[in-house]
Structure 1
């Protein structure tokens, strides 16, 4: 099974720039060993189960909490597809194949 989770998580009470906080959230994802792709608006993580990718959410929040963040915004979306894998790469390649035709 392939589960893609697109997640954005950042504090709202720290001023305009969020990059150092997003970097801490990315460290949590990096430490998980799961493949991911950072985009300008969110990060996409791929795992083998909903539980595997969802388990990152509280860890990401606690990383921000340790930085003194008092208010955190987060949104997550899931794309769950049994019988598939490596969709983080394959979905992009599929679109690019049709684009270059």
Structure 2
């Protein structure tokens, strides 16, 4: 099974720039060992189960909590597909086949 989780998580009470805080969330993701892709609006992570990815969410929040933030905004989406692997790359390659001339 392949589970993709798209997550955006950042504090809302720290001013305009969020990059320092997002980088702490990314450290948690990187340390998990799961493949991921940072985008301008969110990060996409791939694992074998929903539970594996769901278990990362409180760890991400705790990283922000340790930084002393008072309010966190987060949006999470899942794409779950049995009998597939490596969709983080395959989905992009599939689309590129259709747009390459």
- Name the TM-score, length of structure 1 as normaliser: 0.99
The 1-side partners of 2:62 and 2:21 are apart by: 12
The 2-side partners of 1:96 and 1:55 are apart by: 32
Residues 5-44 of structure 1 correspond to what in structure 2 (within 5 A)? 5-44=5-44
Quote the offset at 1:54 in angstroms: 0.8
The runs of at least 4 consecutive aligned structure 1 residues that moved more than 4 Å come to none
Quote the offset at 1:13 in angstroms: 0.2
RMSD: 0.5
Structure-1 residue corresponding to 2:66 = 66
Structure-2 residue corresponding to 1:97 = 97
1:27-47 deviation per Cα after TM superposition (whole angstroms, max 9, x unaligned): 000000000000000000000
Gaps of 5+ in 1: none
Structure-2 residue corresponding to 1:49 = 49
Structure-1 residue corresponding to 2:82 = 82
- Name the TM-score, length of structure 2 as normaliser: 0.99
Quote the offset at 1:92 in angstroms: 0.1
Q: Give yes or no for the alignment of 1:2 onto 2:11.
A: no
Q: Is the partner of 2:17 in helix, strand or coil? A: coil
The 1-side partners of 2:73 and 2:50 are apart by: 21
